[in-house]
Chains A and B, each alone.
Chain A
Amino acid sequence: MIMVDNRIESNPTSSGVHPLKFSLWLIIISIIMMFAAFTSAYIVRREEGNWLEFELPTILLINTVIIVLSSVTMQWAYVSAKKDNLSSIKLGLILTSVLGAAFLIGQWNGWAELVQNNIYFGGSTSNPSGSFLYVLTGVHGFHLITGLVFVLITLVSSLKYKVHSKNLLRIQLCTVYWHFLGGLWLYLYIFLRINH
């Protein structure tokens, strides 16, 4: 294993991009395709009628602000890593994970709000319009959890002084993934706003 990756490290790659970074972009593309499927299914299904219109939970707006903030702190951690500012790396990563967790809790509360308004995921009174909202937020939430785990791993390695200007790859990958998850949520939020 170590051998294989050394090989990658030592030979400059034919594209000039680190293979892991390249792989991450490919994974991001596959996640985009998943959501493209969900959102186009949403539109197609909505066009067919029998679609229950309801108010989006108000908390979603707050969550959107939180996740945008978390992208800012993540970027700050990354920039600090480039400048070898070790304490701000840690602070940035801690803030990012706290904000990420806050976002997830917020989304959970959003679901609670939906249930209060009698919008259910399944069951005899449910309508696809509500179920779709649960699916979009749920699947995004799942990916956000994987992102959060990644941030925590990066945080742990920064506590071991393994994240600095000569060892940027991990935090770089983490930043790309985190920004992607934020961007994905922005897309979903705007999509839901427009199609509601």
Chain B
Amino acid sequence: MSSTDISIHPDVHHAHEEHDHHHDQNFLEKYIFSQDHKVIAKQFLFAGIFWAFVGGFLSILFRLQLGWPEATFTFLEPILGGWIENGKLNPEFYLAMVTMHGTIMVFFVLTAGLSGTFANFLIPLQIGARDMASGFMNMLSFWVFFLSSVVMFMSLFLDTGPAGGGWTVYPPLSALPQAIQGSGTGMTMWLISMALFIVSQLLAGVNYITTIINLRTKGMSMTKLPLTVWALFFTAILGLLSFPVLFSAALLLIFDRSFGTSFYLSDIYIAGEALTNTGGSPILFQHLFWFLGHPEVYIVILPAFGLVSEVIATNSRKPIFGYRAMIGSMIGIAILSFVVWAHHMFVTGMNPFLGSVFMFLTLIIAVPSAVKVFNWIATLWRGNIRFSTGMLFAIGFVSLFISGGLTGIILGNSALDIQLHDTYFVVAHFHLVMGAAAFFGMFCGVYHWFPKMFGRMMDEKLGSVHFWMTFISVYLVFMPMHYIGIAGFPRRYYNWTGFETFNIFTDMNTFISLAAIIGFSAQFIFLFNFIYSIFKGRRATQNPWHANTLEWTTPVLPGHGNWPGEIPTVYRWPYDYSKPGASEDFIPQNVPFSQTQSSNLPSERDLE
């Protein structure tokens, strides 16, 4: 608390009229412990990309096991060492990899990497602020995240392996080291890392909300905000309300593991021996976890909503269809996301009546989701579409979100979920709607805002190769998973060749694994393009996409403080594309109506 209220004395501020009169920064202050939101955004981006490759690599390892269950993996020994026993992957290590893959992707890449990058980068630039409300808290948020990353990364190299109880870390499995090796030190480090992660997210979220509410430039009313900012605003609110609950859940789990309490444990026999814990309830953990867990999936997808809305409008050269409906549906989704958590628990033996209440609420979410999809398509409809790589990924996002959303409606039916729960159908659902879609949102954002971040353009040819390879392999990986899921193929099984029913799916699994390997390889094209373009890319102009939002009014490479002179004043909403009568097909937000008399609508005449 107290560490954040830095320099609250008004008596010093007349000394700094101009913001550029900043004392010279050394390397450390400028690039490492920077308080500049743009640098912090890049730090989150680099960390996110690093984690994405770690998480992706793990998934390739376990896809090898699933695709070729009878193969010997001696060639992996140099990397995995003791985890390969006589050419076979250690089953507990398989579980640990699945756990770490989920944790890394959901939290480190698609929460910290996605929100961390774009909230930090875009909020001040798009609302017309010189920086975040508290640069110090912002820097702290990154470094706490970094610490959390270090702890999680180190746990990968433990002798007993990292946490192995699934990304949802359900007790009793996660609470009892006797049950599985990963529930020993690995789980302890998982909990420490996640506790730090939550602190980092809260610091960041408090900052984002404060900045959006308090630091908008003149004229930037809430209804003139770009949809990106709205989306990031809701994301931060969801995080602020749900992460503390995960913290509570984790704290109780820590007590159960290390202090002998019984919040989640009761009447357990391990290897014929009874544990002394009585009175706990593992279902309690599931309630607490999913109270975070479901909003968390929207924390992941909302930023992508925002980025995609912006990129689609800009590259269709059309105003976004239903601006207010877009905001309204995000409010609806945000509120509903807090009252549907038990759809993850339909088969825990909960009261069937309660199940149908949650089923009802869950299915309602489809309505605002469909509104958004409809609006994106309507924006694209008859647009003057420019297929930049960012736009390709935005359209890909819409496609994936529809495919994955449809299966959500199936899973939301508590009766159907009895068959589908914990099968590959669920895996396919959430990878399409959350995993792949959010990744596409992130790629869309990186390709689109790269010129603002690094002053250069990414290569469009490599970009579209990257897009098509990724897009096709995502569908090739996840579509077949629906089929084996409907057949009852369970998730998180190390080996299924012993089951008569599932043997017939060997070819399908090999196919999926091949597609996954192709998809993962395509990411190296992105990595090359990204790094190459930072240094050697074509130099960007100030507003390469002819976009309306404020970030494109800054210099090509904005310095500390973003605008060298005064912050621009805002006069109009951000979606004046192809306005009839205008001389160009875009009118930036800082152009007053008095300069655009030929295109003003009757209602805008008084604003001239």
Contact = CB atoms under 8 A, between A and B. Distances in A.
Contacts of A132: 263
Interface stretch (A9-17, A66-74, A87-95, A110-118): A9-17
A41 B242 CA distance: 15
B279 A127 contact: yes
A1 B135 contact: yes
Most interface-central of A19, A44, A123, A167 (chain B CB within 10 A): A19
Contact of B9 (A7, A8, A167): A167
Interface string B127-145: 0001111111100000000
Interface string B14-33: 00100100100000000000
A58 interface: no
A162 interface: yes
A194 interface: no
B216 interface: yes
A141 to B, nearest CB: 14
Contacts of B266: 50
A13 B261 CA distance: 48
B255 A45 contact: no
Contacts of A169: 5, 8
Contact of B247 (A2, A34, A127, A147): A34
A15 B215 CA distance: 8
| Chain A contact residues, majority secondary structure | helix
Contacts, number: 178
B35 interface: yes
B4 A23 contact: yes
A16 to B, nearest CB: 9
Interface residues of A, number: 61
B233 to A, nearest CB: 12
B206 A27 contact: yes
A153 interface: yes
B130 A4 contact: yes
A9 B211 CA distance: 14
A149 B3 CA distance: 10
Contacts of A44: 281, 284, 287
B12 A2 contact: yes
Contacts of A38: 248
Interface of A: 1-11, 13-15, 17, 19-20, 22-24, 26-27, 29-31, 33-34, 36-38, 41, 44-45, 48, 50-52, 121-124, 126-129, 131-132, 135, 139, 146-147, 149-150, 153, 162, 166-167, 169-170, 173, 177
Given A2-B7, A20-B133, 7 more contacts: A4-B135, A14-B213, A19-B210, A20-B5, A33-B245, A37-B291, A41-B263
